[in-house]
Structure 1
Amino acid sequence: MPRRFSLPRLCAFSASIVLSGCGHVPVTSLLAMSRINFETTDIAAMRAALRIPTAYQARENRMIVEITQEGKPPHRSEFALERVTSASELSLIGSEKRAGTELVVYKLPDPMVAKFEEMRTEARKAKEEKRKGSLTIKLEPDFCYVAEPPKGSLVFSTYLRTSETRSYVAVLQDLDGFSQPEFAEKIRVMPKC
Structure 2
Amino acid sequence: MRTATPACLLLAGLLAGCGHVPLTSLPKLSKVDIRTTRLAELRAGVSLPANIRPLPGGIAMTIVALPQDGGRHERKVVLEEVRDASELAKLPVVATPGRRFAVFRLSDGDAARVSAFRDEMFVGPQNSGNRGSLALMADKACRLGDLSGKPIPMTSYLKTSETQDYVLLTRDVDLREAVGEADPKVDLATAIPPCEAVPGLSGSRAAP
- TM-score bracket, shorter-length normalisation: 0.7 to 0.9
In structure 2, the residue matched to 1:65 is 63
TM value normalised by structure 2:
0.78
Structure 1 distance, partners of 2:136, 2:38, is: 17
Pair 65,150 (structure 1): closer, same or farther in 2 beyond 3 Å: farther
Q: Which digits, 9 at most, give the CA deviation of each residue in 1:116-143, with x for residues without a partner? A: 0111112214x72267543222122121
TM value normalised by structure 1:
0.84
Pair 26,53 (structure 1): closer, same or farther in 2 beyond 3 Å: same
In structure 1, the residue matched to 2:192 is 190
In structure 1, the residue matched to 2:135 is 138
Query: How far off its partner does 1:73 sit?
Result: 4.4
Alpha carbons 1:177, 1:187 under 8 Å: kept = no
Structure 2 distance, partners of 1:93, 1:44, is: 17
Q: Does structure 1 residue 32 correspond to structure 2 residue 34?
A: no
Pair 44,91 (structure 1): closer, same or farther in 2 beyond 3 Å: same
In structure 2, the residue matched to 1:23 is 19
Structure 1 distance, partners of 2:44, 2:147, is: 25
Of structures 1 and 2, the larger Rg is shown by: 2
Instruction: State the identity as a percent.
Output: 26
Structure 1 distance, partners of 2:62, 2:143, is: 24
Q: Which digits, 9 at most, give the CA deviation of each residue in 1:88-134, with x for residues without a partner? A: 32244331110100011010000011110111112214x72267543
Pair 29,187 (structure 1): closer, same or farther in 2 beyond 3 Å: farther
Pair 20,169 (structure 1): closer, same or farther in 2 beyond 3 Å: same
- Picking from 118, 126, 142, the partner of 1:129 is 126
Structure 2 distance, partners of 1:150, 1:139, is: 27
Pair 67,152 (structure 1): closer, same or farther in 2 beyond 3 Å: farther
AA matched with 1:182: A
| Aligned-residue RMSD, C-alpha | 2.5
In structure 1, the residue matched to 2:100 is 102
Q: Which digits, 9 at most, give the CA deviation of each residue in 1:162-193, with x for residues without a partner? A: 11111111111111123331277484522221
AA matched with 2:182: E
Q: Which runs of 5+ in 2 are unaligned?
A: 196-208
Query: How far off its partner does 1:68 sit?
Result: 2.8
Q: Does structure 1 residue 6 correspond to structure 2 residue 8?
A: no
Q: Which digits, 9 at most, give the CA deviation of each residue in 1:5-57, with x for residues without a partner? A: 324xx32x322246223333222211111111121111111111100111111
For 1:105, what is the secondary structure of its paired residue? Answer: strand
1:108-123 matched pairs, under 5 angstroms = 108-123=106-121
